[in-house]
């Protein structure tokens, strides 16, 4: 019988992918969870009272993420309010099934769920987009649209922070890809654990140092319910090369994934290399380094029947086809969304405040910053419209 | 070949010639460049003199019989002095900073291989005279169970030999023949081995990391394909130098796999090499880079990497694991016992013999696949230097400096090396 090298007590039943150590199930759970806890603590990802959305796709990464974060939140008293946030891209045979898994997760983990769909945000589902643009650039559309969809969903949920299931393999692969593509700006950003998206919504990756194989192993032993089908629209070939290479590297030396991340963290870019500056899109208000954000240009291309508009040839296409006609539909402006979210917040608060004490209401409102005695009285008596007048965030 | 900031005729150059096509072309280009041109008025050469050095690995990797002779002739035909240094000479005291240091260093792990940042114990001892340098080199390479590590050792030993020889010959520049293809491969393989911190130095066209000897890579912008054409055009012969992974499948080592990967990609996407080289050129040495060199690879050590490793690869499941003392292992004899580990229960005091903090991250990763091995004198000498420096720093505040100038000089030197 092989004995676990970590506890020297139990029977070893698995070979840890990260280190090749032969260990027992309990020790595996322990090291797996503790490494994620260290990642959270060392990087100061959360503070008590944070409202956190877990980007949930129904796949293994996000399912394990929801499970582990909920577990650690209880074990170490992080004091987090957790939500599940899903994006419905509208992919038949893939997303519709995986969303069913997310809905089951919602029941199993007892967390509130918000679903935002491409159809509702952009007027196009992924299936419709593929019909229009074919299978060559569809992943560009999907990636750009998903990023914005998540941020918009987060605003609706009124959360400050989205956590995603990106694991160590994903990050190592991205480091390699960015070197191969010569994308120096992304090379520097891709190993950062926290990035700030729009409206100060943070994004972070608690699985930054967690191996994909160990996530699968964890889900397997814990018998977690996840959806394991790959997206029906396969990713591009070039990324495929990098992925195969990384798998081969890992088979030569298991620590190489973490070693690549270590390298990526050490990289520093020469000052004279220009990095793009951030502004906001004049059409939808989303953050953008150009006048228009990528999502707006891609959507304009779709709506005008010019799918190439957003893919490298923007200026030339504009010269030929002119500017966007006024009646073209666009993404809802973020300000509108923010008002909507604010109203929802007030409505919730109102509903809740009728059942609780004025002091509790005071505490709830940004640590009492906006709430005075008289305001509470107003809140208790009046409707959401008045409420939204004085309830201006920050 | 571009050469910035050169004082004409003042500097001596050492060219590393392996006999392969890239270094062969480099030698030729240097010869053309440095030739006294008859039609020019000033008959001044760019370099005062050119030395050539050939590291002979044939005792380890074998190769054709006349390879060595062919390489020597390449330089002799151009009337250059060429020195052949067998790789095993790294065990000779000649190739140390002092030139006489004759101790070697035995490094062993705790044998348990639990923590990723495992402790590494050492003892410095007199070289045995009964073993040949060749056998010592073989034993060192055999101590590494993975080809990736063997290849790394090869590389470090070669660089160390070249640097020591350059210093001895008062050469202020060392020319290495890395082509852009080679450097693209190195960029990816160094990244994969966790050596991102030192990467900017290891692929630089020019670096002063080694103080008095500047390392130059004049071939850095040329593809290996272009070099092949150049050699063909001038009828320059090169020799085939077998490596550790010649005839082995791609998965034999990280270096070999990366080569396969980059060469394959370049075939399908012909701009791969130039893109990777361009990306890597935009990286700069970190501000955290101090003068502290890794005792094995001589590259800079990044601070705080040990705790980083332990936080994200947890290996103790109870807190007691941190405090338990290591017990004696059979392979390590330091006065406790020479018996097998099971017979020995006495904990060994090793606290002050752990040298893992003198290694860079990449070398510590390597040591996981290494048993007990004996490293050549240059490593032992470095350990002594660094321990001395550490002691000096500890008592620094108590030292009365009656010679402020000298202090200033030392400070300046460190500053220059930090670039
Ligand atoms: Zn165990
Ligand atoms: Zn926009
Ligand atoms: Zn090193």
B345-381 pLDDT, tens digit per residue, is 344 444 467 888 899 999 999 998 998 899 999 999 9
Strand-by-strand arrangement of the B120-126 sheet: B120-126, B103-109, B373-375
What separation in angstroms does the CA of A217 have from each of A220, A243, A297, B55? 5, 20, 41, 48
Given an 8 Å threshold on Cβ–Cβ distance, is B148 in contact with A253?
yes
- For B323, counting Cβ atoms within 10 Å of its Cβ (0-12 exposed, 13-18 middle, 19+ buried), the class is exposed
Tell me, yes or no, whether A4 lies in a domain. no
Q: What is the mean pLDDT of residues B305-333?
A: 58
B124-171 pLDDT tens trace: 888 888 889 999 999 999 999 999 999 999 999 999 999 999 999 999
pLDDT over 80 at B217, yes or no: yes
Which backbone phi and psi does A203 adopt, to 5 degrees? Answer: -125, 135
What separation in angstroms does the CA of B40 have from each of A296, B37, B116, B376? 63, 6, 62, 49
Are A350 and A299 part of one and the same domain? no
Are A216 and A300 part of one and the same domain? no
Q: Which of A27, A176, A263 sits opposite B317 (nearest CB)?
A: A27
Q: What is the mean pLDDT of residues B96-121?
A: 79
Which residues, at least 6 apart from B82, have a Cβ–Cβ distance to it below 8 Å?
B17, B52, B53, B54, B71, B72, B74, B75, B76
In which region does residue B70 sit, left (phi positive, over 0), alpha (psi from -120 to 50) or beta (all else)?
Answer: alpha
CATH code, A112: 3.40.50.620
Are A100 and A144 part of one and the same domain? yes
Are A290 and A257 part of one and the same domain? no
Distance B115 CA to ligand 1 centre (A): 15
Q: Is the Cβ–Cβ distance between B6 and B199 less than 8 Å?
A: no
Q: What pLDDT does B334 receive?
A: 37
Count of CB atoms within 10 A of residue B396's CB?
9
Are A227 and A363 part of one and the same domain? no
What separation in angstroms does the CA of A130 have from each of A67, A91, A239, B379? 33, 10, 20, 60
Q: Which of A7, A179, A209 sits opposite B191 (nearest CB)?
A: A179
Given an 8 Å threshold on Cβ–Cβ distance, is B192 in contact with A263?
yes
Are A385 and A283 part of one and the same domain? no
Q: What is the mean pLDDT of residues B325-344?
A: 35
Q: Which of B196, B284, B311 sits opposite A38 (nearest CB)?
A: B311
Q: What pLDDT does A71 receive?
A: 96
Are A225 and A253 part of one and the same domain? yes
Q: What pLDDT does B81 receive?
A: 92
pLDDT over 60 at B174, yes or no: yes
Given an 8 Å threshold on Cβ–Cβ distance, is B361 in contact with A35?
no
Residue span of the structural domain in which A296 resides: 279-321
Q: What pLDDT does A198 receive?
A: 57
Q: What is the DSSP letter of A287?
A: E
The share of chain B scoring above pLDDT 70, in percent, equals 81
Q: What pLDDT does A14 receive?
A: 94
Q: What pLDDT does B195 receive?
A: 97
Q: Does B150 touch chain A (CB under 8 A)?
A: no
Give the domain ranges of chain B: 11-101+127-289
C-alpha B358/C-alpha B121 separation (Å) is 11
Q: What is the DSSP letter of B146?
A: S
Are A149 and A74 part of one and the same domain? yes
Are A243 and A357 part of one and the same domain? no
C-alpha B125/C-alpha B122 separation (Å) is 10
pLDDT over 60 at B331, yes or no: no
Give how many domains chain A has, as a whole number. 3
Distance B112 CA to ligand 1 centre (A): 15
Q: What is the mean pLDDT of residues B46-58?
A: 88
In the predicted model, residues of chain A with pLDDT beneath 50 are 366-378, 380-394
Distance A163 CA to ligand 2 centre (A): 23
Question: Residue B324 has which token pair?
Answer: 């338990």
B308-318 pLDDT tens trace: 888 888 887 76
pLDDT over 60 at B6, yes or no: no
Are A238 and A286 part of one and the same domain? no
* Residue B129 Cα, gap to closest chain A Cα (Å): 37
- Domain B11-101+127-289 falls in which CATH fold? Rossmann fold (3.40.50)
> Band of the pLDDT at B343, cuts 50, 70, 90?
very low
Q: What pLDDT does B154 receive?
A: 92
Instruction: State the DSSP string of B189-240.
Output: HHHHTT-TTTHHHHT-SEE-TTTTSEEE-TTTTS-HHHHHHHHHHTT-----
Q: Does B240 touch chain A (CB under 8 A)?
A: no
Across B127-210, the runs of DSSP E, i.e. the strands, are 173-175, 206-207
Name residue, tokens 């020297």. Answer: A8
Q: What pLDDT does B281 receive?
A: 92
C-alpha A167/C-alpha A246 separation (Å) is 14
Tell me, yes or no, whether A239 lies in a domain. yes
- For chain B, what is the mean pLDDT? 82
> Band of the pLDDT at B33, cuts 50, 70, 90?
confident
C-alpha B161/C-alpha B96 separation (Å) is 9
Distance A27 CA to ligand 1 centre (A): 4
C-alpha A173/C-alpha B197 separation (Å) is 18
Name residue, tokens 């040329």. Answer: B222
Q: Which of A35, A39, A262 sits opposite B361 (nearest CB)?
A: A262
> Band of the pLDDT at B43, cuts 50, 70, 90?
low
C-alpha B144/C-alpha B373 separation (Å) is 8
The predicted model scores a pTM of 0.85
Are A222 and A342 part of one and the same domain? no
B40-44, B140-144, B244-248, B316-320, range with greatest mean pLDDT: B140-144
């Amino acid at each position: 019988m092989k004995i676990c090298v970590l506890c020297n007590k139990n029977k070893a039943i698995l070979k840890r992918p990260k280190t090749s150590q032969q260990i027992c199930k309990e020790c595996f759970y322990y090291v797996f969870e503790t490494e994620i806890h260290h990642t959270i603590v060392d990087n100061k990802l959360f503070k008590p009272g944070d409202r956190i959305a877990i980007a949930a796709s129904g796949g293994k990464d996000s399912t394990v993420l929801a499970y582990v974060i909920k577990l650690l939140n209880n074990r170490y008293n992080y004091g987090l309010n957790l939500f599940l946030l899903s994006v419905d891209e509208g992919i038949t045979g893939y997303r519709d099934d995986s969303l069913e898994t997310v809905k089951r997760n919602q029941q199993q983990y007892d967390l509130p769920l918000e679903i935002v769909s491409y159809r509702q945000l952009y007027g196009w589902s992924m299936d419709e987009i593929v019909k229009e643009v074919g299978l060559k650039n569809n992943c560009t559309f999907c990636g750009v649209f998903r990023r914005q969809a998540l941020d918009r969903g987060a605003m609706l949920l009124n959360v400050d922070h989205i956590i995603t299931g990106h694991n160590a393999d994903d990050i190592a692969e991205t480091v390699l890809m960015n070197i191969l593509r010569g994308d120096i700006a992304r090379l520097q950003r891709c190993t950062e654990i926290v990035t700030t998206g729009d409206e100060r919504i943070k994004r972070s990756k608690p699985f930054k140092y967690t191996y994909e194989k160990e996530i699968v192993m964890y889900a397997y032993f814990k018998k977690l319910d996840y959806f394991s089908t790959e997206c029906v629209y396969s990713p591009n070939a070039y990324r495929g090369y990098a992925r195969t290479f990384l798998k081969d590297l890992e088979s030569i030396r298991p620590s190489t994934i973490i070693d690549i991340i270590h390298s990526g963290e050490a990289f520093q870019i020469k000052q004279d290399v220009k990095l793009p500056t951030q502004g906001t899109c004049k059409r939808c208000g989303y953050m953008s380094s150009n006048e228009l954000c990528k999502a707006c240009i891609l959507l304009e291309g779709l709506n005008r029947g010019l799918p190439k508009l957003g893919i490298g040839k923007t200026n030339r296409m504009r010269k030929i086809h002119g500017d966007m006609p006024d009646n073209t539909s666009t993404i809802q402006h973020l300000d509108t969304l923010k008002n909507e979210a604010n109203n929802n917040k007030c409505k919730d608060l109102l509903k809740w405040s009728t059942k609780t004490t004025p002091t509790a209401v005071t505490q709830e409102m940004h640590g009492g910053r906006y709430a005075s005695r008289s305001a509470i009285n107003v809140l208790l008596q009046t409707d959401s419209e008045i409420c939204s007048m004085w309830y201006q965030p920050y | 070949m571009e050469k910035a900031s050169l004082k004409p005729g003042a500097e001596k150059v050492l060219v590393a010639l392996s006999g392969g096509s890239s270094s062969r072309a480099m030698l030729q280009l240097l010869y053309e460049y440095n030739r006294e041109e008859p039609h020019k008025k000033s008959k001044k050469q760019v370099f005062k003199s050119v030395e050539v050095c050939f590291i002979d690995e044939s005792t380890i990797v074998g190769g054709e019989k006349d390879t060595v002779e062919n390489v020597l002739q390449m330089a002799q035909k151009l009337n250059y002095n060429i020195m052949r240094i067998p790789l095993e000479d790294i065990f000779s005291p000649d190739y140390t900073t002092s030139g006489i240091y004759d101790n070697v260093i035995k490094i062993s792990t705790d044998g348990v291989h639990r923590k990723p940042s495992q402790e590494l114990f050492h003892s410095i001892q007199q070289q045995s005279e009964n073993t040949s340098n060749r056998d010592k080199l073989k034993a060192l390479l055999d101590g590494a169970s993975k080809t990736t590590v063997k290849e790394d050792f090869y590389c470090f030993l070669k660089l160390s030999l070249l640097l020591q020889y350059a210093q001895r010959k008062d050469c202020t520049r060392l020319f290495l023949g890395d082509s852009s293809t080679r450097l693209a491969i190195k960029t990816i393989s160094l990244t994969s081995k966790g050596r991102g911190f030192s990467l900017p130095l290891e692929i630089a066209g020019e670096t002063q990391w080694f103080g008095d000897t500047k390392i130059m890579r004049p071939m850095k912008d040329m593809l290996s394909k272009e070099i092949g054409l150049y050699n063909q055009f001038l009828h320059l012969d090169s020799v085939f130098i077998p490596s550790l992974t010649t005839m082995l499948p791609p998965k034999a080592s990280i270096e070999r796999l990366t080569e396969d990967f980059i060469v394959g990609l370049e075939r399908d996407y012909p701009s791969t090499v130039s893109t990777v080289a361009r990306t890597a050129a935009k990286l700069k040495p970190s501000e955290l880079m101090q003068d502290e060199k890794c005792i094995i690879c001589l590259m800079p050590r990044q601070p705080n990497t040990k705790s980083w490793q332990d936080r994200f690869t947890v290996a103790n499941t109870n807190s007691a694991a941190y405090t338990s003392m290591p017990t004696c292992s059979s392979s390590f004899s330091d006065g406790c016992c020479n018996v097998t580990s099971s017979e020995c229960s006495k904990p060994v005091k090793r606290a002050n013999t752990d040298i893992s903090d003198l290694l860079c991250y990449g070398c510590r990763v390597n040591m996981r696949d290494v048993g007990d091995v004996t490293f050549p004198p240059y490593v032992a000498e470095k350990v002594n230097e660094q321990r001395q420096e550490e002691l000096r720093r500890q008592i620094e505040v108590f030292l009365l400096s009656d010679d402020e100038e000298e202090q200033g000089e030392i400070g300046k030197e460190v500053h220059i090396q930090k670039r």
